[in-house]
A and B are shown apart, each in its own frame.
Chain A
């Protein structure tokens, strides 16, 4: 009996990775937007120090999550989804996986290029990936900014899709990623 539920729901580990990273991404946006308009000052530095520490946390979790994902098959998509919907779901998930690597990496690179090294909660400092380079910094900052809009759009699409599955299709696509719930077996 328990074995059949494992295949239709996400495992506890998958849920943990998903929700911790999701929560950290929300924190990242609020920190970045709060710091954006501030002049260089202690408050901006403090906000960006948190942003960098959480960003590197996301990167480390992304590595673990990808390794974990490569050894575990996720539950299948509902059988009634069209080819287009499946392709859209797969590419959305792939893009989100890519972005949880690329966002921290471009952030780390832009910090390096501006000689603002990345500390992890003041416990240790990550090495600078590139030397000081103003032009590289500007390019990386613009990339980081543009990708953050991509991430925001895809995350909203992902959220709306989950809600659509739950309230429109009445399937368990949303619920199977929610802890402390039970998926209702259909079909």
Chain B
């Protein structure tokens, strides 16, 4: 699976696509594969303040719940409404199924996130056990 080179990643398996001062955030293909069939996404409300490294919502599959950690600090500007009725889209297209859009309050935080190459190395180590 190719991890988009222009995205950044976290060790908690979130991705972020930056466009100026806005970031689109979702979970990686590795995450959706581990979770299995996704049935529920709990997203924050528009206007919510999110903090880097803190829980902003959750994704549930049939067999598990997984907390979502924000890659950056900022304010939620938009939620992907599609996921309320079709959460399984994350399974089929994890890197296109954004969960929330955030206005970044500190764009420098992006530099601390993993590149696609670093993330791929990280998951290769994780699954090698």
- On whether the two chains bind one another, the answer is no
Q: Which residues of A come within 8 Å of B, CB atoms?
A: none
